Structure 1
Amino acid sequence: MASFRQHGNGWQGRIRRRGYPDITKTFETKADAERWARSLESEIDKGQFVNVNEAQRTTLGDLIARYLTEVTPSMKGAAEDTIRLKAIMRKSIARWSMTNLSAARIATYRDERLKEVSAGTVIRELAYLSAIINHARREWGINVPNPVQMVRKPQSPQARSRVLTDEEVSKLLQALEPTGRRSHWIKPAVQLALATAMRRGELLSLRWEHIDLQGRTAFLPDTKNGDARTVPLSTVAVKVLAGIPRHISGVVLPVKFFTLDAAFKRGVRRAGLDRVRFHDLRRTAITRMAEKLPNVIELAMVSGHKSLMVLKRYYRPTASELAQKLG
């Protein structure tokens, strides 16, 4: 049953029902409180009541903060995800309560971000938000619909096809020479990416205990697709590894994800290269390897791809190169 009492300058309504937690809400007038109570009791009688008290008290920023504490640390790419999610927490969208976070507000956020970053980045941010809200609905009692699922996603950008030429690689390596205050870890990281086709995260997780220079292999206990993988090392890769000083941590390349990313971008600018990202090194490496490993199964074993359709996006021979192979 419902009860009402004056609370400050307003009226507080309280509903008590067996099997339900007490529900309270404050209104300006007693009539408003009574209308609220009648409506809520009707929903309870019909079995349609959903308690949104927790959602009303919780902002999107609160959810992201809790997700960063309880969920993100156990995920792959936790360091990068943490930085990206903390950036979203600084946006105005994070201050809305979950009951007021409508699809229209998500759409406004999408449109504002499209003026600042690429469509791919916006798609990734919307996916983050959707995953966090779904987790909160399942695990934390946030009883609201997921507004992200009702918002149109930006059109996915075309897959990148950038492959560096030998001349561009030479310019880039020269621009990454560890002179002055430049880190001496960045150039070998790029050289290993080109020699092994490893992903950036795989390179940064490499440990000396998993490298066999004599047998020319590098073991990756945990990769992007969830499987362990042993990567064969070319003579070039072995030479690069042999020249890297051993760090006390046992990590081959003791630099952080974003440190490597920032230093690489500076090197690209110094080299005067256009539209080059670190992941383009993997595409370049796979394209080069395809000349030595025409068997796509062998090539996939080196690159770590489970799907040949995905591998096809990375192998980018030119029409002229294919014509020469045809004779």
Structure 2
Amino acid sequence: MYSDPSVKPDPDARGIRLAVGATTKTWVLSKRIDGKVRSVTLGSWPDLPTVYAARDVAVEKMAAVTTRTDAASTGIHTLNDALESHIKRSKASDRTKDEYRAQVRNNMADLFAMKIEDITLDHLEEVVLGKHGIATQKHLAQIIRTSFKRAAAVRRCFNVADDLKVDTKSYQPDNSVNFDADERWPALDMIEAKKQQNRIIGAAFELMLFTGLRAGNVITLRWDDIDFKARKLRVSRLKNGRVGMFPLADRVVALLEALPKHSEWVFPQHDTEKHIFHPDRLKFGDNILRPHDCRRLFTTAARRADLPAYVIDQLRGDVEKGVQGIYDQGSASHRHANAIAKQTEVECGALPSLNVVQIGGRR
């Protein structure tokens, strides 16, 4: 036990000792709780430089034990415990709950493994800000706030996440892929490797690469949306709120024809009753391919194939700007989709450059 003969004994300091190890010194409180002697770690020296500092921490921790708001009584030791406690009470869909867990697993595993009392605002901002797109930042921040709100309610602790803000005004989106687009694109290699592990996810990425569609539109496709005879694909709701009809390249038609059709969804989960979740990025060596990178590469291939801007806008599902766009009944064709597919295959090294079809007649 810690004792100092020069000072008057402090009843709140009873049971506090400084445990000295080979490289560390730790303040520990030994106390009889519910008929059993328990040891509670208060903190390290010199973070707690005196027994009085350790005593103050001990008073707070014993108050939590008395009110059953400590980690042991509540079962909420980490931020992940708080999230699971929230999920247990939540009426959200299983899909939403699984998406929360996937975001934690892929982007915040270390943070959510930390003890609640050790987490600072700096930890939260380091995880959320500057490393992701604005949509992902908002989603991660939402999950953190939800988890901390539950921790604060149960543990009666300070909610650090109250001050977590996502600065949308100063955010500059990263529109570049993580490899040199002037060199051979590794996209197809990464997709083929993924198809060996998970055929459905790999096929979803391949469809994104050769159509430029957003991941949200791809994962919600039904077989009713595919017209194999006309070689077209229908998207019921684009980002701009419109319905879109898109011509498909021969390669994409073959890809879709080869997929199993045991569900209404083109890309179903194992139980076939639901479609897959938003796919995670692909990683192959040092290269990363995100779902939206497929849209960037599709656009790049279309421009390198010398397609007119208005055709590219139509194939991307963008709102065309200008009077002609209002009157155009759909200039993008199967021929244009094939030209982009060939250009993409050339960029990925799957075809020699002589296979490129130049719509504009140049070169």
Superposition TM-score, scaled by structure 1 size: 0.50
Q: Looking at secondary structure, tell me which structure has more helix per residue.
A: 1
Q: Normalising by structure 2, report the TM-score.
A: 0.46
Larger RCO (CA within 8 A; separation ≥ 6):
1
